């Protein structure tokens, strides 16, 4: 009896129940991880999307999102994502590593969408967490010829892969996007290496920028019905 109760307690603390998020900013957090349905650009088109949390543990999060979007084929409709919560805000130069691993899949790739990491940094430690002075994106895939903001400025070798590097500004925010040449559906790497590259080659001011947001997800433009499944995402900032 005692053993059964102990196991029950362990099961409820280590794994959250499945959650369904269909509201524009439907959000769920447990331990170090969150999931946000995040339909920030929904008014540029028509469609629907819900995100589902399967499980969360200390070593990762499992979730998926199902969407259908049409209209304005060059506009992002949403960014359903998993994120790190309670990020300890420190300057990028003080961070020794940002190890992360992910395994994901799309059941229908006849879509216009990317699969990407999204990180924001800012000089102001109290900056809002949905934008920054700088945005670092790592596109593990793109479907339907969608493009990052700005234009292609270089080819970069980081963490054993070769990436197209794109740069563009969105108001005051400077966005660097590293784009894989073909979909990488299983990836583990150290995101600090991307900041180091930008510091060395693009004058990125790592010693005055706080890391304020770290997320992984997908940006649908148009298409569907399509389901994006993240079987396991993990990330840490050291």
Ligand X SMILES: *[C@@H]1O[C@H](CO)[C@@H](O)[C@H](O)[C@H]1NC(C)=O
Residues in contact with ligand X by the rule CB under 6 A: 59-60, 101, 232, 234
Closest CB to ligand X among residues 47, 60: 60
CB 82 within 8 A of CB 34: yes
Q: Pick between residue 14 and residue 149 the one whose CB is nearest to ligand X.
A: 14
What's the min distance (Å) between Cβ of 203 and ligand X? 33
Q: CB 64 → ligand X: shortest distance, Å? A: 14
User: 164 catalytic, yes or no?
Assistant: no
- Is residue 135 flagged as an active site residue? yes
**Residue 101 CB, nearest approach to ligand X (Å):** 4
95 close to 192: Cβ distance less than 8 angstroms: yes
* Alpha carbon separation from 156 to 66, 77, 94, 190 (Å, rounded): 32, 28, 23, 15
CA dist 5 and 3 (Å) reads 5
Q: Which of 53, 64, 49, 7 is nearest to 30 (CA)?
A: 53
Nearer to ligand X, 84 or 206 (CB): 84
Which entry of 30, 212, 219, 223 is annotated as an active-site residue? 219
Report the length, in residues, of the chain.
Answer: 238
Active-site hit among 135, 215, 217, 230: 135
Task: Work out how close the CB of 99 gets to ligand X at its nearest, in angstroms, rounded to a whole number.
Answer: 8
In the complex, least distance from residue 75 CB atom to ligand X, rounded to whole angstroms: 33
Q: What is the DSSP string of 61-101?
A: EEEEEEEEEES-TTS-----EEEESS----BGGG----EEE
Residue of closest CB approach to ligand X: 60
Nearer to ligand X, 102 or 179 (CB): 102
- The residues, ordered by sequence, that sit 6+ positions from 153 with a Cβ below 8 Å of its Cβ are 165, 166, 167
SS3 call for 132? coil
> Which residue's CB is nearer to ligand X, number 101 or number 229?
101
- Residues identified as active-site: 135, 219
């Amino acid at each position: 009896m005692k053993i059964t109760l102990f196991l029950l307690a362990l099961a409820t603390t280590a794994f959250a129940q499945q959650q369904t998020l269909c509201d524009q900013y439907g959000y769920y957090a447990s331990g170090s991880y969150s999931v946000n349905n995040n339909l920030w650009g929904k008014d540029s088109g028509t469609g629907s999307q819900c995100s589902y949390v399967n499980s969360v543990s200390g070593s990762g999060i499992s979730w998926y999102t199902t969407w259908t979007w049409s209209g304005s084929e060059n506009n992002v409709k949403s960014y359903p994502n998993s994120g790190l919560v309670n990020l300890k805000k420190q300057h990028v130069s003080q961070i020794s590593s940002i190890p992360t691993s992910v395994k994901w899949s799309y059941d229908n790739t006849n879509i216009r969408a990317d699969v990407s990491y999204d990180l924001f940094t800012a000089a102001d430690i109290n900056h809002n967490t949905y934008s920054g002075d700088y945005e670092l994106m790592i596109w593990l895939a793109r479907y339907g010829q969608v493009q990052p903001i700005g234009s292609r400025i270089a080819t970069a070798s980081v963490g054993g892969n070769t990436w197209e590097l794109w740069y563009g500004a969105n108001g005051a925010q400077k966005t660097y996007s590293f784009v894989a040449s073909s979909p990488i559906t299983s990836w583990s790497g150290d995101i600090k290496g991307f900041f180091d590259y930008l510091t060395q080659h693009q004058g990125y001011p790592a010693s005055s920028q706080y890391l304020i947001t770290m997320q992984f997800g997908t940006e649908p433009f148009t298409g569907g019905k399509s389901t994006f499944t993240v079987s396991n995402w993990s990330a840490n900032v050291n």
